[in-house]
Amino acid sequence: MRRFKAIMMAAACCAMAGSASAASPSAEVRTWRQAHEREILADFSKLLAMPNVATNLPDVERNAAYISGLLETRGFKTRLLRASPGTPPSVFAELRTPGAKRTVVFYAHYDGQPVAQKGWLNPPFQPTLRTAPPEDKEVTVPAQGPINPDWRIYARSAGDDKAPIQAMISALDALKARGIKPSVNIKLLYEGEEEQGSPNFGRIIAQNLELVRGDLLIFGDGPMHQSGKQLISGGNRGIAGFTAMVYGPNKPLHDGHYGSWVPSPSVMIADLVMSLRTEDGRILIPGIADEVTPATAADKAGLAAMPPVEEDLKKALGLGRTIGPKRLADGYLSPTLNVRAIHAGDDGPNAANAIATEASASFDFRLAPGQTPARIRKVTEAYLTSKGWFIVRDTPDAATRLAHPKIVRLAWDEGSSIATKTPLETPAAQAVAKSIGRTVGYDVIQLPIVGGSSGFAEIVNQLKAPMVTVSIANYDDNQHARNENLRIGNLWDGIEVYAGLVADLDW
């Protein structure tokens, strides 16, 4: 009886919460997945077949309702959160785990990029199974036996970002079928407007702070590392873009008659560009890096431990050299100044030999942790002023033109953002690294932050929770482009990763 009671108590204990020291559920989940590949793929196709460009509100509502239904079937309480009527909702879903001490919020987005590109092999909302590139041959699911994991499903959002949604749902199904309970309380936050720049997401969070709060936010978006190894990152850089327009004569002039005497906007814009950064990437603006939070020892260790991809990447990209840091990711904790475009002169038939009236260039700063768009604007404008530029916000009138030797019209982009950085040595982040490490059987790459930007910093700050990025889509998923696809094996692996994050995560 006493033994029976002990067993019962052990069973009760484990029935209440999956223990953090339990073995990784991977093997169990894999067994289940292997027996259900066709159903999983059919469910995923059904999800992908729903058009999901956020500018189409009826489509978005259909996705949100459908996903809510899927989650309710699995025991979630769901709500649709809108910043205001007529804007795409975020799907919020909660599944409490009795006895669990931590609450983990999983983010993904169910909307997708526009689909106007030419060259899709199949219509973007007609999910199609194909062999691996470059063959891309259409195939059908075999009646039995494993589906070739190198095959891919081609549809918009197959990678970005419905893959983590399907992975979570299938992970929960697998765990339930195998009798494994989650180790955390689960909150799901699936946004409907990410590809539009998340214009309302900050307000959704602000209006629902208590509801969506948790101890850890797992940001489920983005493709995996080039090496194919699992990677977590602690955030991303910020962004501050601007355009500059410079002015020459007030009408186009024959450059034979005037070229030696009239300032040339083409040369002025090239000069402005080269005054801001060197060809090998050094930003020349004094004070530009004043606010940057220095890299920590853990940052440096994480970067040093990254697998070397540079040689292969150089060859794949056809580069005779690289600039800046020897290792690609080493630049992510510093600011970068990119020159997106330069346009000077005109290709029109009678314009060839003309001194143009103006020229322009478009730039983006990528902000390192600690930097603010406001200070970047300030030091950049102070520097240009020190170089003799008179800064205007509108087209200069005649009096202004005559009064200043060098005029530049500066316009800073609306959508700027700061960097987000959760130190990966924090217990929550390390718990994620270890969970995934147990799932995949090797130490995951720990990238302090990714090089790209996102509007999430302000949102994450509201939640006051550490945020870790986890990715499952294959590196070459063609996100944002034509022929977006998810490698089947990546879905299988993603199910195991999410199962581990739900049932084998504790700190």
Of the candidates 24, 41, 23, the one whose C-alpha atom is nearest the C-alpha of residue 33 is 41
Residue with smaller CB distance to a copy of itself, 366 or 434:
366
When binding is defined by CB under 8 A, the residue of 149, 197, 199, 281 that contacts a copy of itself is 281
Distance CA 149, CA 450 (A): 28
Name residues contacting a copy of itself, limited to 441-480 (CB under 8 A): 450-453, 480
When binding is defined by CB under 8 A, the residue of 123, 142, 259, 427 that contacts a copy of itself is 259
Residue with structure tokens 């459908």?
66
DSSP string over 266-311: HHHHHHHHHHHB-TTS-B--TTTTTTPPPPPHHHHHHHHTSPP-HH
Q: Binding segment for a copy of itself among 68-76, 146-154, 161-169, 334-342 (CB under 8 A)?
A: 334-342
Name residues contacting a copy of itself, limited to 70-109 (CB under 8 A): none
Alpha-carbon distance values, 113 to 155, 353, 397 (Å): 11, 41, 41
The three-state secondary structure class of 470 is strand
Distance CA 162, CA 221 (A): 9
When binding is defined by CB under 8 A, the residue of 131, 207, 208, 338 that contacts a copy of itself is 338
When binding is defined by CB under 8 A, the residue of 319, 378, 427, 442 that contacts a copy of itself is 319
Q: Report, in Å, the least distance between residue 55 CB and a copy of itself.
A: 13
Of the candidates 106, 198, 117, 197, the one whose C-alpha atom is nearest the C-alpha of residue 156 is 117
The answer to whether the CB of 422 falls within 8 A of the CB of 466 is yes
Of the candidates 494, 488, 498, 439, the one whose C-alpha atom is nearest the C-alpha of residue 38 is 488
Residue with smaller CB distance to a copy of itself, 169 or 384:
384
| Residue 13 burial by Cβ neighbours in a 10 Å radius (0-12, 13-18, 19+) | exposed
Residue with smaller CB distance to a copy of itself, 297 or 399:
399
Q: Report, in Å, the least distance between residue 157 CB and a copy of itself.
A: 16
DSSP string over 177-232: HTT---SSEEEEEEES-GGGT-TTHHHHHHHTHHHH--SEEEEE-SBPPTTS--EE
Region class of 132: left (phi > 0), else alpha (psi between -120 and 50), else beta: beta
Regarding 304 and contact with a copy of itself (CB under 8 A), the answer is: no
Regarding 355 and contact with a copy of itself (CB under 8 A), the answer is: yes
Cα torsion through 27, 30, 34, 39, rounded to 10: 150
Distance CA 209, CA 213 (A): 6
When binding is defined by CB under 8 A, the residue of 401, 411, 461, 476 that contacts a copy of itself is 401
When binding is defined by CB under 8 A, the residue of 21, 84, 144, 260 that contacts a copy of itself is 260
When binding is defined by CB under 8 A, the residue of 271, 381, 425, 476 that contacts a copy of itself is 271
Residue with smaller CB distance to a copy of itself, 33 or 225:
225
Regarding 353 and contact with a copy of itself (CB under 8 A), the answer is: yes
Q: Report, in Å, the least distance between residue 303 CB and a copy of itself.
A: 13
Q: Binding segment for a copy of itself among 209-217, 373-381, 404-412, 486-494 (CB under 8 A)?
A: 404-412
Residue with smaller CB distance to a copy of itself, 176 or 343:
343
When binding is defined by CB under 8 A, the residue of 102, 130, 277, 409 that contacts a copy of itself is 277
Q: Report, in Å, the least distance between residue 195 CB and a copy of itself.
A: 11
When binding is defined by CB under 8 A, the residue of 31, 55, 73, 250 that contacts a copy of itself is 250
Residue with smaller CB distance to a copy of itself, 359 or 501:
359
Q: Report, in Å, the least distance between residue 89 CB and a copy of itself.
A: 25
Please give the structure tokens belonging to residue 266. Answer: 């083409």
Distance CA 441, CA 24 (A): 10
Regarding 225 and contact with a copy of itself (CB under 8 A), the answer is: no
Regarding 131 and contact with a copy of itself (CB under 8 A), the answer is: no
Regarding 339 and contact with a copy of itself (CB under 8 A), the answer is: yes
Please give the structure tokens belonging to residue 32. Answer: 């289940």
When binding is defined by CB under 8 A, the residue of 5, 101, 254, 378 that contacts a copy of itself is 254
Task: Give the length of the chain.
Answer: 507
When binding is defined by CB under 8 A, the residue of 137, 257, 284, 395 that contacts a copy of itself is 257
Q: Return the CA Rg of the chain.
A: 26
Q: Binding segment for a copy of itself among 53-61, 90-98, 271-279, 485-493 (CB under 8 A)?
A: 271-279
The 3-class SS string of 79-132 reads EEECCCCCCCCEEEEEECCCCCCCEEEEEEECCECCCCCCCCCCCCCCCEEECC
Regarding 263 and contact with a copy of itself (CB under 8 A), the answer is: yes
Burial 243-264 (b: 16+ CB within 10 A, else e): ebbbbbbeebbebeeeeeeeeb
Name residues contacting a copy of itself, limited to 157-176 (CB under 8 A): none
Regarding 362 and contact with a copy of itself (CB under 8 A), the answer is: yes
Q: How are beta strands 420-421 and 235-247 bridged, if at all?
A: antiparallel
Q: How are beta strands 77-81 and 90-95 bridged, if at all?
A: antiparallel
When binding is defined by CB under 8 A, the residue of 2, 3, 118, 315 that contacts a copy of itself is 315
Residue with smaller CB distance to a copy of itself, 4 or 261:
261
Q: Binding segment for a copy of itself among 47-55, 156-164, 178-186, 343-351 (CB under 8 A)?
A: 343-351
Residue with smaller CB distance to a copy of itself, 1 or 402:
402
Number of residues engaging a copy of itself in binding (CB under 8 A): 87
Regarding 323 and contact with a copy of itself (CB under 8 A), the answer is: yes
